[in-house]
Structure 1
Amino acid sequence: MASDTPVQHHALVLSKVGEPMVLETRPVPKPGPGSVIIRVLAASVRSNTPHVYRDPNSGHPLPLPFVPGFAAIGKVVDIGPDATKLKPGQLVFFDPYIQGRDDLETIYVSGLMEGFTEGKDPHPLSRAEWRDSTYAEYAKLPLENCHALNEQRLLGDAKDGGLGYTMDDLTHIFSMLIPFGGLADIDVKAGDTVIIAPATGRYGSAAVHVALAMGSRVIAIGRNAAILSQLETISPRLSTVQITNDIDKDTKALRSASPGGVDAFWDMSPPAAGTSTHFRSCLNVLNSGGRVSLEGSVVSGVSFSYMDILMGGLTIKGTWMCTREQTMRLIRMVESGVLPLGATAGMGPVKTFKLEQWKEALDTAAVRTEPGEIVFAP
């Protein structure tokens, strides 16, 4: 461990859903085989984070008591004896999708949800070695979930071949991770026309940037006219359509925005969107052989029918998170400059909070769902 690493650190602890978090002083964790210790520089607070930690009926089982968290960026301070690539001092991105090493179907979304695959017990992951997540000054994490970032390239000055990003800029990767998984799963590529729905939230707007970086033409749809107007300035390959809940009217608007038809449709609708008419409107403009990615949380049925899939030759793929290979591919896109980050790329603001400001951070996340990031910066 680095000589300047303290013996103790601060960590947020949640003992019971609905009760206040407590900022505790704990020993800095030690690494073992297959693990790495990072000093957390930024940890993501999602829009559903307050719901998960405050509502006992959220449907997100948690390994209480534990240190909450999610995706993070940090500096390696210590490594286990079997690390072959990571070294102390390296900048890394932590992907919170933890899978069993001997059974990839056993999962734990670090800090946010124990897996619920039928017949799979996530407890060896979530209630033992990897219980605690990233809302802390230091975190012990699985080695394979920590991806090296090229600090010189990302944060370096342009005259030295760097991209000149700040840490705030890098936090936009947090919202891109999950959308990239879905877009990659349906093989979005250069020349495709892709509908992003809804495009006005944090994940949806991130999906717009990712799809553009993958070379596609994007139709961003949603109800918030102000945010759609902001998105329009990002790229000449981007069109926007404000949906009205009138299927015929929306279908006509989508056809006008895509004279050659649509190749793919990415959706991350919230639970209340089960009755939304945009599913029908988007299906109406899909080309034969179109691909559909579902990453939302709609719990009721949607207006997809057996014959829609059969006659349209549709491929429908459900995606929950992002594979390790996809995460590495996303990082390469950022490091190459193909996927620009930050305000200059048209991304939303970043709001940062200290650990002791946990209540303010959660309150902000509960009401602020528009593009941008909310992070703890311990």
Structure 2
Amino acid sequence: MKAVILKAFGAPLAVEDHPDPERGTGEVIVDVAASRVLAYASEVFSGARGYLLHLPVVPGAGAVGRVRAVGPDATRLRPGDWVYCDPVIRARDDVLAPDITLQGLSARGPGGQMLQRHFGNGGWAERLLLPTENAVPIGDIVPDDAPRWCILGMLLVPYGGLRAAGLRAGETVLVNGATGGFGGAAVAVALGMGAACVVATGRNAETLAALERVFGPRVRGLRFTGDEDADREAMIARAPGPIDCVLDLPPPAASPAWARAAVMAVRRNGRVALMGGIGMNGGGGLDLPYAWIMRNGVSIHGQWMYPREAVPEMVAMLRAGLIGLDHYRIATFPLDRVAEAVGHAAAHAGPFSLTLMCP
């Protein structure tokens, strides 16, 4: 099969013949129709992000495709089924704290690296091997719609945070860092979950205005000034009432003060989910006041990615029309134009843009 190969950090990506994956028990093989190109992919491939990757590797976190072969333990999945290939692969020998690898992207710790040696190759190839439970049926679709279903990968990350924060219908949520790809997706997900109002914060006034235009009066944009106290007061004032929960999604380059302003804008007994990149490139942490958290009964939840059951839940939300996909601009590239695809993804890093490899 044809596949994109990263042989060394900083080396050009190669498109080569690669051995077909061999299925074992508890595994499926999927014919890939489309796979996402992350906006920061070039930073991963250069080594700038310091991601744990066992090289050489086929990149590509997440894909949509059709099942080619299933193992003897699959009772419902059938060849020909359309599936979302969930890249969050969890070890099966520790239910409470499983080791995790993000297929085609990174690993978390030594256990994740062990998983990566078997399931490391991602979706930038004609075929993909993954655990049976990671092939999630999306129902019947026409082949031309497969790229649109890759938006699942953008929606699932913020859904994991909003789910952890316990967002309920009718509440007001603050999405901190809403002008990035995942932040813009968070606005759509929050509305789909029934939020009465989303206060969307960021540094790009044009993108904030676009969020208001696309999603309507339930979204209120707010541009950061860099003054922590003033920004916190502005967040509170921008909301129609108390802010019930906060989803924090700033990039690694953001100041901790940006996140702290958002966290401390939540109401008494409010909830916060932290999913951003603060501290990933070094620097200080949030330095939140202990007494303020305790006296106000604020719940703070760290959330990396999403639980397994989030995938079929999000599929059901899309099927029900609770979240629309029509506002996304989708650019597709064949494997032999991978360098162009990576550059396109970096240049179109905001909301409503999706870059895909289509083998």
Q: Same fold (TM over 0.5)?
A: yes
Is residue 16 of structure 2 the alignment partner of residue 32 of structure 1?
A: no
- Which residue of the other structure, out of 172, 176, 188, is the alignment partner of 1:197? 176
1:130-141 alignment runs, 5 A limit: 130-141=119-130
Is residue 149 of structure 2 the alignment partner of residue 170 of structure 1?
A: yes
Q: Deviations over 1:11-70 (max 9, x none)?
A: 111111111122111343232211111111110111222111112x52211011121110
> Alpha-carbon deviation of 1:288?
0.5
> Alpha-carbon deviation of 1:284?
4.2
> Alpha-carbon deviation of 1:210?
0.3
Q: Name the structure 1 match of 2:2.
A: 10
Q: Name the structure 2 match of 1:148.
A: 137
Q: Deviations over 1:296-331 (max 9, x none)?
A: 111131242212311221111111111111112111
In structure 1, distance between residues paired with 2:78 and 2:137: 9
- Which residue of the other structure, out of 199, 222, 229, is the alignment partner of 1:241? 222
Aligned residues of 1:40 and 1:75 also touching (Cα < 8 A): yes
Is residue 237 of structure 2 the alignment partner of residue 256 of structure 1?
A: yes
Q: Deviations over 1:160-209 (max 9, x none)?
A: xxxxx933432221211111111101111101110001111100000000
Aligned residues of 1:175 and 1:206 also touching (Cα < 8 A): yes
**Range with greater deviation from structure 2 (239-248 or 58-67):** 239-248
RMSD across aligned C-alpha pairs, in angstroms? 1.8
1:76-155 alignment runs, 5 A limit: 76-104=67-95, 105-116=98-109, 120-128=110-118, 130-152=119-141
Q: Name the structure 1 match of 2:11.
A: 19
> Alpha-carbon deviation of 1:259?
3.6
Q: Name the structure 1 match of 2:322.
A: 338
> Alpha-carbon deviation of 1:248?
4.2
- Which residue of the other structure, out of 306, 311, 315, is the alignment partner of 1:322? 306
In structure 1, distance between residues paired with 2:29 and 2:167: 35
> Alpha-carbon deviation of 1:131?
2.6
Aligned residues of 1:39 and 1:76 also touching (Cα < 8 A): yes
- Counterpart of 1:290, as a letter, is G
Aligned residues of 2:36 and 2:61 also touching (Cα < 8 A): yes
TM-score (ref. length: structure 1) = 0.88
Aligned residues of 1:170 and 1:342 also touching (Cα < 8 A): no
Aligned residues of 1:274 and 1:301 also touching (Cα < 8 A): no
- Counterpart of 1:132, as a letter, is N
* Paired residue secondary structure (2:253): helix
TM-score (ref. length: structure 2) = 0.92
In structure 2, distance between residues paired with 1:53 and 1:247: 34
> Alpha-carbon deviation of 1:271?
1.5
Aligned residues of 1:349 and 1:373 also touching (Cα < 8 A): yes
> Alpha-carbon deviation of 1:249?
3.5
Aligned residues of 1:274 and 1:302 also touching (Cα < 8 A): no
- Counterpart of 2:116, as a letter, is S
* Paired residue secondary structure (1:103): coil
Q: Name the structure 2 match of 1:209.
A: 188
> Alpha-carbon deviation of 1:260?
1.7
Q: Deviations over 1:74-103 (max 9, x none)?
A: 011111121111111111001101011112
- Which residue of the other structure, out of 35, 39, 42, is the alignment partner of 1:50? 42
- Counterpart of 1:108, as a letter, is T
In structure 2, distance between residues paired with 1:123 and 1:252: 44
Any unmatched runs of 5+ in structure 1? 1-8, 157-164
In structure 2, distance between residues paired with 1:238 and 1:52: 33
Aligned residues: 350
